[in-house]
Amino acid sequence: MDNLTVIVLAAGGGTRMKSKTMKVLHPIGGRSMIGHVLRAVQAVEPERIVAVVGHQREQVGPHIHELVPDAVLAVQETQDGTGHAVRMAMEALGEDGPTRGTVIVAAGDTPLLRGESLQAFAHEHEAAQRAVSILSGIVADPFGYGRIIRNDEGDVEAIVEEKDASPEQREIAEINSGILAFDAEFLLDALGRITNDNHKGEYYLTDTVQIAREAGLTVGAHTIDDVMQTEGANDRAQLAELGRELNRRIVTQWMKDGVTVMDPATTWIEADVQLAQDVTILPGTQLLGATVVAEDAVIGPDTTLKNCEIGAGARVVRTHGELAVVGDRATVGPFAYLRPGTQLGVGGKIGTFVETKNSRIGDGAKVPHLSYVGDAEIGDGTNIGAGTIFANYDGVAKHRTVVGRQARTGSNNTFVAPVTIGDGAGTAGGTVVRRDVPPGALAVSSGAQRNLEGWVASRRPGTAQAQAAASAEEASVTGEQQVDPGVGPDGRSESQS
């Protein structure tokens, strides 16, 4: 499309959000509201994008520039109406502004808008060679919208705003979505003719329709079937409603693309998530941010992953993860917490009640139970015993622990960083590792065990504990002759139990 300019209006206050965050910056489906609009606008590849900012422009301006670095920001100091806002946009372009071609005006608060819809609308506008085209919609409750006034031939004559409409005009169900297309030359001329002689005392952009008609120029309306694409969120209830609808659309699209979603109603997938074919998502799962899931992976139930990368065939159950990478065929959970910088190798395991942070866990390495792994490097094929704490913090600074490959560490260990455990080394249960363990060595830090015989009978006489000890002693004395070796006291052989 030649010489296309898009103006996005985002100067309004959005007071009904009752928020310190400007309306168009509220997140929905993993982007800001205006982020979705700008994405749709960029899909049309316009020559220029102008955003009109006013309220809280110190928040909105930088956000827009982050998403579209070459967008032109036009400042509207006072919100004197949509016509005034568009005039500010054209003035901000100055010499570089369009004198011919098409100008599309859209609002910054319509997060469901799609690029294809803008594209189709722009094409139709240009093909019909109109001065003004309106993207209109038929709605059940037209309250608050500008109504499309047509004559007996069905030609569009004007847009009349709610407050200026007669009771009969208020019955009209065809409304102005707020998205309009203009011939640039006509728009420049018409903006100078709009007055604020109306109920709100504002410069209405919609007055351009009547101006075009009076000049004998062509005006038309293109009705969008999918009106939700042009719906704005004015308060948080509408934001939640649009958020659910946006999610429904995203989830449906992924199912069409070959992803199994067991329960779409409890599955949330944000707009920038990428899923491969044959991924399975179980109920209660949220895939957020730039999360990427490779084929055959199974995620959920009850799992939240933000900005994570999950490998092919991996399994992630009841897990909360952020900025973590899970290798192909690896397993995570149930009840795991993957914090930023976690990297789990191919076929590795992060098991139940395990928290990991800033750690690389090698291919086939396992941390199966009840552990904290922070600032660590765990080599391929190593097994970390149940209940291991990587003590990475000395109260002042964080330190790293390195465990080599094919190591076997015992249960209930503490690794006091900085410390290194060599390849193929082992640690005994209950070891506190403070010094490096050479490859192949077994580290033992707890003292030799002593059994104080008869301690319970002398210190806890008459207790249930003492009684149990006494009857065990009795049974061992009488039982020694009766029971064959290899058969338990209940008579079953060990291999059956």
- Which positions are annotated as active-site residues? 369
Q: Does 79 bind ligand UD1 (CB under 6 A)?
A: yes
CA distance 93 to 87: 10
Given 5, 32, 56, 82, the residue binding ligand UD1 (CB under 6 A):
82
Q: Does 104 bind ligand UD1 (CB under 6 A)?
A: no
Q: Does 67 bind ligand UD1 (CB under 6 A)?
A: no
Q: Does 159 bind ligand UD1 (CB under 6 A)?
A: yes
Strands 268-269 and 174-183: unpaired
3-state secondary structure of 479: helix
CB closer to ligand UD1, 110 vs 285: 110
In the 8-state DSSP scheme, what is residue 323? S
Residues 16-55 binding ligand UD1 (CB under 6 A) are: 52
CB atoms within 10 A of CB 272: 17
Residues 116-145 binding ligand UD1 (CB under 6 A) are: 145
What Å distances lie between residue 94 and 14, 80, 98, 205, 413, CA to CA? 28, 20, 9, 19, 70
Phi and psi angles of residue 481, each rounded to the nearest 5 degrees, phi first: -80, -30
User: Which residues are paired to 32 by β-bridges?
Assistant: 27
CB closer to ligand UD1, 210 vs 431: 210
Q: Does 382 bind ligand UD1 (CB under 6 A)?
A: no
Q: Which two tokens stand for residue 362?
A: 């090698």
CB closer to ligand UD1, 87 vs 315: 87
Given 35, 108, 321, 327, the residue binding ligand UD1 (CB under 6 A):
108
Alpha-carbon radius of gyration of the chain: 34
Q: Where are the alpha helices (DSSP H) in 232-374?
A: 236-256
CB atoms within 10 A of CB 67: 18
User: Which residues are paired to 401 by β-bridges?
Assistant: 376, 419
* Residue whose structure tokens are 């006291």: 489
Stretch touching ligand UD1 by CB under 6 A, among 3-11, 251-259, 332-340, 358-366:
3-11
Stretch touching ligand UD1 by CB under 6 A, among 102-110, 216-224, 240-248, 267-275:
102-110
Residue nearest to ligand UD1 (CB): 146
Residues 161-200 binding ligand UD1 (CB under 6 A) are: 161, 175-178
Stretch touching ligand UD1 by CB under 6 A, among 106-114, 245-253, 295-303, 378-386:
106-114
User: Which residues are paired to 17 by β-bridges?
Assistant: none
Q: Does 12 bind ligand UD1 (CB under 6 A)?
A: yes
List residues binding ligand UD1 (CB under 6 A): 9-12, 52, 76, 79-82, 84-85, 107-109, 145-146, 159, 161, 175-178, 204-206, 232
